[in-house]
Amino acid sequence: MTKLSPLSKLQASMGVALLALFMVVLARGAVAETVPSRIVSVGGSVTEIVYALGQEHRLVARDTTSNFPAEARQLPDVGYVRRLSPEGLLSVAPDMILAEEGAGPPETFDVLANTGLPIVTIPMGFDLPAVQSKIRAVADALGVADAGEDLAAQVTADVEEATQLAGLRDQKVLFVLSMQGGRIMAAGGNTAAQGILTLSGAQNAIAGFDGYKLVSDEAVLTAAPDVILMMQSHRPGAVTAADVLAHPAIAATPAGRAQAVLQMDGMLLLGFSVRTGQAVSELAAGLAAAGS
């Protein structure tokens, strides 16, 4: 048996070490290039984009607000977008979470971040540039940037056409989110409701604050809305159009006297996603009918 010299032994050892290092580099590269295939989508607008990009086969779960398209409802539901638990999200063994900005609570995502699980936050916004950015962010996260550009261009064309057809309206619209303790929860500025009204050419009847807030009867009377806009809801105990019209302050407004209430699917109306052009068209048509 031939004995190796000390130099040969050193060279052999270095060769083994280099080979091992090379294999580690290859392994790390493979992991880095692995395409996520077990994705949880958090936020209905995000889920709609995933489907529109043709990447739904990579989804393993979704949140409660992800109800369109209908096939999405067949996926496991990990909970409401702002009340998620680490256990619920991790129970489906995801390799990526796509979450719209504002998903939470923050403590849940802090726990998830400590596990090393990739979390991609998709920016929110309530105008056409925000929709474009959202589509591109989802497409980039999924590694289909070109498809994202195509989808963004199509959605842009849809929204611009719908906006042009809608034109400018002088209607004042009060968006009612809910009623609490006999008071109206209405939409102010910097809300999805404000954004979709702007795109449809209508005016938000309420001004002077941002977000959704309880407003006084005096504020409702001063707003004098021509139309009441609400989300459709089939939940037991949800506020109905009849409930709102029976409110004394609403009843005294032009909208109340004309019984002018328009209800639309909430995710379509406020999602600011791939169906925003459709939302603008349907809202404009509904406002025209309600105001006639």
User: For 46-89, what is the HEC assignment?
Assistant: HHHHHHHCCCHHHEEEECCCCCCCHHHHHCCECCCCCCCCHHHH
- CB atoms < 10 A from the CB of 14, how many? 10
85 exposure class (CB count in 10 Å sphere: 0-12, 13-18, 19+): middle
Q: Which domains does the chain have, with CATH numbers?
A: 39-164 (3.40.50.1980), 167-290 (3.40.50.1980)
Q: Judge whether residue 38 has pLDDT over 70.
A: yes
Residue corresponding to tokens 């404000």: 194
Output 237 or 73, whichever has higher pLDDT: 73
Who contacts 107 (Cβ-Cβ below 8 Å, separation ≥6)? none
Say how far apart CA 124 and CA 127 lie, in whole Å. Answer: 9
Q: Judge whether residue 292 has pLDDT over 80.
A: no
Contact in structure between 40 and 125 (CB atoms under 8 Å):
no
Output 20 or 168, whichever has higher pLDDT: 168
pLDDT, residue 272, reads 98
For the segment 62-81, what is each residue's pLDDT rounded down to a tens digit?
Answer: 999 999 999 999 999 999 99
Say how far apart CA 159 and CA 177 lie, in whole Å. Answer: 24
